[in-house]
Amino acid sequence: MNHRLKIFFLRLIILLGVVFIFSCSKAPQHSVDSTNSDLIPVYFYKVINIYPHDRNAFTQGLVFRNGFLYEGTGINGYSTLRKVELETGKILQIHKLPAQFFGEGVTIYGNKMIQLTWRSRVGFIYDQESFTLCHKFYYETEGWGITHDEKRLIMSDGTQTLYFLDPETFEEIGRIEVYDKDGPVTRLNELEYIQGKIYANVWQTDRIAQIAPQTGQVIGWIELKGLLNPEDRRYPVDVLNGIAYDAENDRLFVTGKLWPKVFEIELISPKQ
């Protein structure tokens, strides 16, 4: 290769390098601009009140109705349905499930209490006042969380799918796939329907997803890391799981499996 040819190739390499560096230096700016519209707000929290909670309650579902918490707990042989006094944590009423059932999410629809089971694929319908078993219903997936939007039951099975059920026949009438900008959001667990959004605990995280029921898109995240202090963790605790909403007084409650406390929290906007 002669001297002129070497200089030509050297200049070509330098030119390509400059173009590459320039394009890379511009890329982050384009990347930021293109994702601004996809940013999902992350809400933090302020603790308003703390209430006692049964350390032995493996919380799978939580509902607030008429001043009381209604709670479904899990573990075979220990699964229950409970009515709990919020201020004291005292169990006012309890129904124990047969040992073969692992209790899961609960919700109240009308005057009926509905409770799922994990892998048995059977749900129980009770009279809310007496906890008398009225009916059973069946489903094709695992049962994790359940809530309703006053027209449809909404059910999770630990995947990214949420199922809509007819509250009278319990047949599936629709479903959505939950996702954010990074793709499917899986391990959806306990559910609560609050002001037009589905709130979902994401199993094994300290986060709650706010989900648009029309599309399945995550439109907000609630970051709850740090709720339990080191003293609370002196005894075994499990994951965050349990969302209840007092619609009349606009109060949001959260707890977890084997947690010693129920927290009333206020969400803090990212802009605050």
pLDDT of residue 269: 87
Q: Does residue 5 sit within a domain?
A: no
Q: Does residue 3 sit within a domain?
A: no
Q: Does residue 64 sit within a domain?
A: yes
Please say if the pLDDT value at position 91 is more than 90: yes
Q: Does residue 4 sit within a domain?
A: no
Instruction: In whole angstroms, give the CA distance from residue 270 to residue 30.
Output: 24
Question: What percentage of residues in the chain have a pLDDT greater than 90?
Answer: 84
Q: Does residue 15 sit within a domain?
A: no
If one counts the domains in the chain, the total is: 1
**In the structure, what pLDDT confidence band is assigned to residue 38 with cuts at 50, 70 and 90?**
low
Instruction: In whole angstroms, give the CA distance from residue 157 to residue 240.
Output: 17
Q: Does residue 226 sit within a domain?
A: yes
Instruction: In whole angstroms, give the CA distance from residue 115 to residue 180.
Output: 29
Containing domain of residue 92, as a range?
41-268
Give the CATH number for residue 211: 2.120.10.30
pLDDT of residue 272: 55
Q: Does residue 29 sit within a domain?
A: no
For residue 109, how many other CB atoms are within 10 A of its CB? 17
Q: Does residue 34 sit within a domain?
A: no
> How much is the pTM?
0.85
Structural contact between residues 138 and 123, judged by C-beta atoms closer than 8 angstroms: yes
Residue with tokens 């603790």: 47
